[in-house]
Chains A and B, each alone.
Chain A
Amino acid sequence: MYVAVKGGEAAIANAHRLLADRRRGDRSVPALRLDQIVEQLGLAVDRAMGEGSLYDRELAALALLQARGDLIEAIFLVRAYRTTLPRFGYSEPIDTGAMKIERRISATFKDLPGGQMLGPTFDYTHRLLDPSIVGEDAEVPAVREAEDEQAPRVTDLLGRQGLIEPDGEAGEDHEVGDLTREPLDFPLDRDLRLQALARGDEGFLLALGYSTQRGYGRTHPFVGEIRIGEVEVEFDIPELGFAVSLGRVRVTECQMVNQFKGSAKIPPQFTRGYGLVFGQAERKAMAMSLVDRALRAKEFGEDITAPAQDEEFVISHSDNVQATGFVEHLKLPHYVDFQAELDLIRRMRAEHEARAEQQEATE
């Protein structure tokens, strides 16, 4: 007997009650607090902030908690909140050269002004599970605060000798685009491309960056510099006539230095790929800078042969909130369309059978 699929409303409410129950888990285990997530799962918080495009550690922690640790779901929550916020204006460009540095490394120079600073890195740790960190009282050595030292950007050092292309100049009249306010219109300028990459999925960019290293759009990269630390965000207030500081944000910047043979117009010099991400997100910043450089292929007259060089392909598919929505929408009912396909395939099979019978009869 046919029972109409009624009660969708009750089913949804029940499902969400169950979700809330599973999210909380065993009640005898203390509930997580946001400050615990902010302090102890900081890199997950950073990723939710970066790809959520909203610098707010507490909100990102809430999103992670609500999403049961599902990063893409957390990113989605942050984005859906961000989109409702009024837009007051745009900050002044941040000056990463004046960064209060916590980590700074260069793979191109052994020593340089400001020095190399490893900072809080997983690099050179042995990946052995360490039960001793479990529990309240595990002893953690205190560290001394880093002293402020001038550390000019490596690209600025190279730039003084003209060995590397300068920072991208957008031109006087160029107004920096905003992909959250205007629909993307391919081909993009680099400003919009970088915006899209900065909020792009880490895994997707990692795979694409990796593919360029394996020969699909090779760019011969060196890590000119990676730096992580806090920078000042300034906002120009028209009534005052000068910029005021809104506070500091932690960012990760990666400057990739790439080979370039030069062309008829441009003398041989190094080129750059650029990565900048909220929080501590070194892998993402590196992948981003590889993909940024690969996407500049047209600018340098390089052959476009690989996926990582294809702007429309990369940017159209880098947003994980869009990607997860569309992939997961396949679980929504499609029975109307499926019915149409069923009907067609039955008719075509009937015709096929009729033809086969006819053939048998004539043989």
Chain B
Amino acid sequence: MNAVANYNFAYLDEQTKRMIRRAILKAVAIPGYQVPFSSREMPMPYGWGTGGVQVTASIIGPDDVLKVIDQGADDTTNAVSIRAFFAKVAQVQTTTHTAEATIIQTRHRIPERKLEAGQILVYQVPIPEPLRFLEPRETETRKMHALEEYGLMHVKLYEDIARHGRIATTYAYPVKVEGRYVMDPSPTPKFDNPKMHRSEALQLFGAGREHRIYAVPPHTDVVSLDFEDHPFEIQHFEHPCALCGAEQVYLDEVILDDRGGHMYVCSDTDHCEERREAGHVGVLGMQEAAE
């Protein structure tokens, strides 16, 4: 049973990698289309990033530099675990700096720093089908995509407006890719949607449990669905980051006490740290300096 310890480079066997690469190539060729692939059991649970891990394992090479984030942060437990996994089975260099990474695997966020040509962003996707909660059947949703029949989605968004006065989708906000397929951007906050549009980086999406891979190649149109009289808009925060003073970034709310005290800090920890190193200071940083 000692043989159990011998795993191939990046865990997956070469046959499996080839199968996944074929799916990725097809996905890149048809932007936004969900390509079925034969997802494998991975040594972490389904729903914890197995799709992203399989995509990363198939594209990673010894010279790659890997960054893994969860909720924008490099130090959340699952990001730590996935990074450690690749450091172990592929012995690749890892980093927390967005600029240094060649592959960035992410759950729920796109880094604040603009991605560049040559970088690959790998998303972990729980439910790849944007129509799933409107129509639970795969057999039906496949037909709807094939016929470009997205009326149901527009009706849903319209009903939101009728009921709440606005589109009440705040994350996993549906987008249309290159004017053809409606796609789920994974549960990133809609704040990040504009970053996908004509990005210079290749964006790959892996859904392990649901056996789907899809892609947005560089310089592809990614448009958030909306109406002329209710245009798409992203979240705006009233305060800058309390640590680095950044504005126009996505913030996490941190509860400070049980009397309603709270503060807002950058969700992208790397972005926040780099700014602070560069001398930017937020409200809280100033207090600290004063103390």
CB neighbours of B211 from chain A (8 A): 183-184
Q: Given B38, B165, B190, which contacts A351 in the complex, CB threshold below 8 Å?
A: B165
Q: Given A2, A12, A337, which contacts B77 in the complex, CB threshold below 8 Å?
A: A12
Task: Tell me whether A325 and B80 are in contact in the complex, defined as CB-CB below 8 angstroms, given that A332-B70, A333-B71, A339-B251 are known contacts.
Answer: no
Residues 221-264 of chain B: 1 if any A CB is under 8 Å from the residue's CB, otherwise 0?
00000000000000100000011000000111110100000010
Q: Given A8, A59, A62, which contacts B75 in the complex, CB threshold below 8 Å?
A: A8
CB distance from A347 to the nearest CB of B (A): 8
Assess whether A322 is in contact with B70, with CB atoms less than 8 Å apart.
Answer: no
Residues 169-183 of chain A: 1 if any B CB is under 8 Å from the residue's CB, otherwise 0?
000000000001111
Provide the main secondary structure of the chain A interface: helix
Provide the main secondary structure of the chain B interface: loop
Assess whether B46 is in contact with A335, with CB atoms less than 8 Å apart.
Answer: no
Assess whether B78 is in contact with A332, with CB atoms less than 8 Å apart.
Answer: yes
Cα separation A250 to B173 with both chains bound (whole Å): 51
Cα separation A327 to B267 with both chains bound (whole Å): 25
CB neighbours of A327 from chain B (8 A): 47
Q: Given B41, B138, B212, which contacts A186 in the complex, CB threshold below 8 Å?
A: B138
CB neighbours of B126 from chain A (8 A): 326, 329
Question: Does A33 sit at the interface, judged by CB under 8 A?
Answer: no
Cα separation A337 to B252 with both chains bound (whole Å): 10
Residues 185-204 of chain A: 1 if any B CB is under 8 Å from the residue's CB, otherwise 0?
11100000000000000000
Residues of A in contact with B (beta carbons under 8 Å apart): 1-2, 4-9, 11-12, 58-59, 62, 76, 79-84, 86, 180-187, 312, 316, 321-322, 324-329, 332-337, 339-344, 348, 351
Assess whether A339 is in contact with B78, with CB atoms less than 8 Å apart.
Answer: no
Cα separation A344 to B189 with both chains bound (whole Å): 12
Cα separation A11 to B187 with both chains bound (whole Å): 26
Task: Tell me whether A81 and B73 are in contact in the complex, defined as CB-CB below 8 angstroms, given that A2-B254, A321-B46, A329-B48 are known contacts.
Answer: no
CB neighbours of B118 from chain A (8 A): none
* Chain B residues numbered 155-186 whose CB sits less than 8 Å from any CB in chain A: 164-165, 168, 170-172
Q: Given A79, A332, A336, which contacts B250 in the complex, CB threshold below 8 Å?
A: A336
CB distance from B109 to the nearest CB of A (A): 6
Assess whether B46 is in contact with A182, with CB atoms less than 8 Å apart.
Answer: no
Question: Does B108 sit at the interface, judged by CB under 8 A?
Answer: yes
Assess whether A83 is in contact with B70, with CB atoms less than 8 Å apart.
Answer: no
Instruction: List the A residue with the shortest CB-CB distance to B213.
Output: A183
Task: Tell me whether A183 and B37 are in contact in the complex, defined as CB-CB below 8 angstroms, given that A326-B46, A333-B71, A336-B267 are known contacts.
Answer: yes
Cα separation A337 to B172 with both chains bound (whole Å): 9
* Chain B residues numbered 247-291 whose CB sits less than 8 Å from any CB in chain A: 250-254, 256, 263, 265, 267, 269, 284
Cα separation A123 to B72 with both chains bound (whole Å): 56
Cα separation A321 to B48 with both chains bound (whole Å): 12
Query: Closest 6 interchain pairs by CB?
Result: A325-B46, A329-B47, A325-B45, A340-B170, A326-B47, A183-B36
Question: Does B39 sit at the interface, judged by CB under 8 A?
Answer: yes
CB neighbours of B8 from chain A (8 A): 84
Assess whether B209 is in contact with A325, with CB atoms less than 8 Å apart.
Answer: yes
Assess whether B253 is in contact with A342, with CB atoms less than 8 Å apart.
Answer: yes
Assess whether A2 is in contact with B284, with CB atoms less than 8 Å apart.
Answer: yes
CB neighbours of A180 from chain B (8 A): 38
12 extra interface residue pairs, beta carbon distance < 8 Å, beyond A8-B76, A336-B72: A9-B80, A80-B41, A84-B13, A183-B36, A312-B138, A321-B41, A326-B46, A329-B47, A333-B71, A333-B77, A339-B253, A348-B164
